[in-house]
Amino acid sequence: MTEPSSTSSPLDLGGRTFLDSSELVLNMGPQHPSTHGVLRVILKLDGEKVLGTECVIGYLHRGVEKIAENRTYAMFNPYVDRMDYVASVSNGLGYCLAVEKLLNVEAPPRAQYLRVMMTELNRLTSHMVWLGTHALDLGAMSPLFYTFRDREEALKIFEKYCGARLTTHAFRIGGCIYEAYEGMDQDVVSYCNFLEPKIDEYEQLLTTNRIWVERTRNVGVISGAECIALGVTGPVLRASGVKWDLRKAQPYSSYDKFDFEIPTGRNGDTYDRYLVRIAEMRQSVRIIRQAVAGLPEGPIMAKVPKVLKPPAGEVYVSIEAPKGELGYFVVSDGSTQPYRIRVRPPSFVNLQALDKMVRGQLVADVVAVIGTLDIVLGEVDR
Amino acid sequence: MEERRVGVDLKDAKEKAPAMPPPAEKPVVPAAAAPAKPAAAPKPAGPVPEPWNSAIPEDLRNRFGSAIKEANTYLGQNYLLVDRAVVYDVLSILRAEHEFDYCVDITAVHYPKRELQFELVWVLYSFARNERMRVKTQVKDGEPVPSAVSIWPAANWLERECYDMFGITFSGHPDLRRILLPDGWKGFPLRKDYSILQQDQDWVRANLGIESGQ
């Protein structure tokens, strides 16, 4: 840059206008509360308008897939809880189902119902973390306190069931290791009774709140076709009007015996995704009630050998995790250790849609869209 | 002195503690209601892939002949093994004509002893048919694979991860860079010859200023 000569006026910028509208590159994160972990987003801006984004990920990469190749099937089971750590029960369910498929065994009905009960409770806690943090990002502080207070009660049930609150390791390959503790059915039903009015309470705070609606409606719009092209699944896909849920499309773990609906949205914006997740919470409560009422008697563990040696082969098994399709591609060479385990993480694939959703929007909307995608960086980076 | 005392205490505690917590009471209802399924132990030999007879492999065989090497079903899951030369065409036809509109996953498996070291796997799903299938192909080390980004935009990051972890290059990929590991990292961790404790020491020293990241 040349020094301005002493004779020129301070406003003479050598031909350039005073308001220079060149593009600005802004770095957001990796340590930023709204990125829900360690995500770095490089934003290209024109004023406040987003022209493009680039995600820099991998800060939490721990090489989970490599670890899997060096552990036995049973030893790897607790590791999967550390991927999506707010929905660890779902991770464990997907992994157990994949290895069970490879072993060609099926968990007994009682174990399947227990699994459904736990997984749906976990879907509730996952959605509550999402709602609290997402609302906090957009300036509504109270929902965080409400949801974390109510989530705590579910975590207490987890703790009583398997001793852990977050990284639960609740299931084993072949079924469940823990029988329902005494009084679990009452605990779960009273939690359902407790939670239903609380969901109404969250809605009272937000659904018709003018600021909330202004901040979320028509923000981060994505169509159903775009979601499919980008591989986006879960509530984001459903909010764009695609009625697709793996629990219905390809039922696993007895989900075909439960009566529930798939809530969908119309506009594919942040507000619809909020409504879809709230509706999903109500459906989860409905499923949990059915699981308690219909819990069959019988064993909770299928007959699996102490040392697991699945026959050589490969399978891909996926489940509907709170964030979308969570898949495990497991390759066995007939030994005690998996030859390869690939995790298909919903957060990783969904995050890819961020660029599409924020182009042309404002910087503040980037925060809204990261929140609405409901990513967990532990799962993105693995 | 102190140590000894602690040791004695521990020993006492052990003796006092019951051998095992009483197991949770199992329901005593006999297996009358439960189906016989849980009793079926896994067969030692394991299931074998069966031929996959459907319109899809038939159509592809008519077009590509012997380039479709296998079309099998294993444990109810269908997969194709195709030649690298036709994999892009196979994927485009599956997308355009057989409604496999959702590319679920792209990944690889490393078999260092084979001549064609890497097995690429595309997991596909069709919303219209509610059907899943896998397409596989085998490539040598260093041999490029055609990118599927033009068929499914979802392939972008999935292929980048494959490159990052295995060093497989995708020709025609718009932005083939590392994604999870830092840009300057050397080595591809999911290859079988990469030890679990191995890391790029030079990178760690230069960027983190420490001797080892372990």
| Touching A: B residues 67-106, CB under 8 Å | 74-75, 77, 101-105
Distance from CA of B31 to the nearest CA of A (A): 7
Give the model confidence (pLDDT) of A225-278 as tens digits: 999 999 999 999 999 999 999 998 999 988 999 999 999 998 889 999 999 999
Task: Verify whether the Cβ–Cβ distance A229 to B127 is below 8 Å.
Answer: no
Contacts of A19 (CB under 8 A, 6+ apart): none
What's the CATH fold of domain B50-193?
Answer: Beta Polymerase; domain 2 (3.30.460)
- The complex scores an ipTM of 0.83
Q: Say what the pLDDT of residue A48 is.
A: 84
Task: Verify whether the Cβ–Cβ distance A318 to B104 is below 8 Å.
Answer: yes
**pLDDT (average), residues A306-312:** 86
Distance from CA of A316 to the nearest CA of B (A): 8
| Touching B: A residues 164-193, CB under 8 Å | 175, 178-179, 181
Q: How far apart are CA A107 and CA B47, in angstroms?
A: 19
Q: Say what the pLDDT of residue A195 is.
A: 93
Nearest to A57 among B47, B123, B180 (CB): B180
Residue with tokens 């809530």: A263
Neighbours of A104 (CB within 10 A): 17
Task: Identify whether A26 is part of a domain.
Answer: no
Asked if residue A179 has pLDDT above 60, the reply is yes
What proportions of chain B, in percent to the nearest 5, are helix, strand and coil? Answer: 30, 20, 50
Average pLDDT of chain A is 88
The one-letter code for the residue type at B27 is P
Cβ A298 vs Cβ A274: under 8 Å = no
Asked if residue A341 has pLDDT above 80, the reply is yes
Nearest to B38 among A61, A108, A228 (CB): A108
Distance from CA of B1 to the nearest CA of A (A): 36
A88-103 and A109-137 helices cross at what angle (nearest 10)?
150
Nearest to A313 among B74, B157, B189 (CB): B74
Cβ-Cβ contacts under 8 Å between A and B: the total is 149
- When mean pLDDT is compared over A114-128, A356-370, B3-17, the highest value belongs to A114-128
DSSP labels for B19-67? SSPPPPPPP---TTSS-SGGG-PPPSS----EE--SHHHHHHHHHHGGG
Query: Nearest 10 degrees: CA dihedral of A23, A24, A30, A34?
Result: -90
C-alpha angle A282/A115/A161, rounded to 5°? 95
Q: Which of A104-108, A125-129, B59-63 has the lowest mean pLDDT?
A: B59-63
Bigger pLDDT: B35 or B100? B100
Q: Say what the pLDDT of residue A15 is.
A: 60
Provide, as residue numbers in chain B, all residues whose Cβ is less than 8 Å from the Cβ of A106.
37-38
Counting Cα atoms < 13 Å in the Cβ hemisphere of A311 gives 15
> How does residue B5 score in pLDDT terms, banded at 50, 70 and 90?
very low
Provide, as residue numbers in chain A, all residues whose Cβ is less than 8 Å from the Cβ of B118.
none
- Backbone φ and ψ for B46, nearest 5 degrees, come out as 90, 150
Task: Identify whether A83 is part of a domain.
Answer: yes
> How does residue B104 score in pLDDT terms, banded at 50, 70 and 90?
very high
Q: Say what the pLDDT of residue A84 is.
A: 87
Provide, as residue numbers in chain A, all residues whose Cβ is less than 8 Å from the Cβ of B123.
316, 327, 329, 344
Alpha-helical (H) ranges within chain A are 64-69, 73-80, 88-103, 109-137, 142-162, 184-206, 210-216, 224-230, 235-239, 246-249, 270-293, 346-351, 354-358, 363-373, 377-381
Give the model confidence (pLDDT) of A142-160 as tens digits: 889 999 999 999 999 999 9
Q: Say what the pLDDT of residue B60 is.
A: 85
**pLDDT (average), residues A105-133:** 92
> How does residue B61 score in pLDDT terms, banded at 50, 70 and 90?
confident
Q: Cis peptide before A30, with omega less than 30 degrees from 0?
A: yes
Distance from CA of B126 to the nearest CA of A (A): 10
Asked if residue B11 has pLDDT above 90, the reply is no
Task: Verify whether the Cβ–Cβ distance A311 to B46 is below 8 Å.
Answer: yes
Q: Say what the pLDDT of residue A9 is.
A: 55
Task: Identify whether A173 is part of a domain.
Answer: yes
Nearest to B109 among A101, A327, A340 (CB): A340
Global confidence as pTM = 0.82
Neighbours of A361 (CB within 10 A): 18
Residue of A64, A104, A185, A375 to mutate for B, most B C-beta atoms under 10 A: A104
Asked if residue B3 has pLDDT above 80, the reply is no
Cβ A356 vs Cβ A230: under 8 Å = yes
Q: Say what the pLDDT of residue B64 is.
A: 85
Neighbours of B204 (CB within 10 A): 17
Task: Verify whether the Cβ–Cβ distance B182 to A58 is below 8 Å.
Answer: yes
Bigger pLDDT: B208 or A350? A350
Q: Which of A9-23, A216-230, A310-324, A328-342 has the lowest mean pLDDT?
A: A9-23
Asked if residue A10 has pLDDT above 80, the reply is no
Q: Range of A74's domain?
A: 56-381
Token digits of residue B162:
């494959």
Assess A327–B contact: CB distance below 8 Å, yes or no: yes
Token digits of residue A165:
């609150």
Q: Residue A107's domain is classified under what CATH number? A: 1.10.645.10
Give the model confidence (pLDDT) of A265-299 as tens digits: 988 899 999 999 999 999 999 999 999 999 998 89
User: How far, CA to CA in Å, does A275 sit from each of A96, A127, A203, A300?
Assistant: 31, 12, 9, 36
Per DSSP bridges, beta strands B68-74 and B77-82 are antiparallel
Task: Using CB atoms within 10 Å of the CB of residue A127, give its burial: 0 to 12 exposed, 13 to 18 middle, 19+ buried.
Answer: buried
Give the model confidence (pLDDT) of A56-109 as tens digits: 898 889 889 999 999 999 999 999 998 888 889 999 999 999 999 998 899 999
- Backbone φ and ψ for B72, nearest 5 degrees, come out as -130, 165
Asked if residue B17 has pLDDT above 70, the reply is no
Q: Say what the pLDDT of residue B98 is.
A: 87
Q: Say what the pLDDT of residue A304 is.
A: 86
**pLDDT (average), residues B136-157:** 91
Q: Say what the pLDDT of residue A320 is.
A: 92
Residue with tokens 């003479």: A12
Q: Number of structural domains, chain A?
A: 1
By CA distance, what is A232's nearest residue in B?
A: B154
A184-206 and A109-137 helices cross at what angle (nearest 10)?
30
Asked if residue A2 has pLDDT above 60, the reply is no
Asked if residue B84 has pLDDT above 60, the reply is yes
Assess A243–B contact: CB distance below 8 Å, yes or no: no
Q: Say what the pLDDT of residue B1 is.
A: 41
